[in-house]
Amino acid sequence: MAESIRSLAALKRRIASLESVPAARGRARVATGHGAVDAALGGGLPTGRVHELFGDVEEEGAVAGLALGLTQLLAKGVAPLLWLRTEAGQRAGGRLYGPGLAAMGLDPARLLVGVMKDEAMLLRASVDALRCPGLGALVIELRGRAPLMDLTASRRLALAAEESGVTALLLRIGGDPVPSAAETRWRVAAAPSLPLPGNAPGMSAFSLHLLRRRSGPDGMTWRLAWNSARGDFGEECDERHEHGQGSGGRAEEAALSGAVVPLPAGRPAADRAA
Predicted pLDDT of residue 271: 45
Predicted pLDDT of residue 6: 66
Q: Specify burial of residue 138 (Cβ count, 10 A radius: 0-12, 13-18, 19+).
A: buried
Tell me which residues of the chain have a pLDDT lower than 70: 1-9, 12, 15-27, 235-274
Predicted pLDDT of residue 145: 93
Domains of the chain: 3-273 (3.40.50.300)
Beta strands in the chain (DSSP E): 3-5, 29-30, 45-46, 50-55, 81-86, 111-116, 137-143, 168-173, 184-190, 204-213, 221-226
Sign of the dihedral through C-alpha 170, 258, 40, 186: negative
254, 202 in Cβ contact below 8 A?
Answer: yes
Q: Which of 245, 147, 255 is nearest to 194 (CA)?
A: 255
- Give 143's strand partners: 173
Look up the pTM and report it. Answer: 0.81
Cα angle 151-178-114, degrees, rounded to a multiple of 5: 70
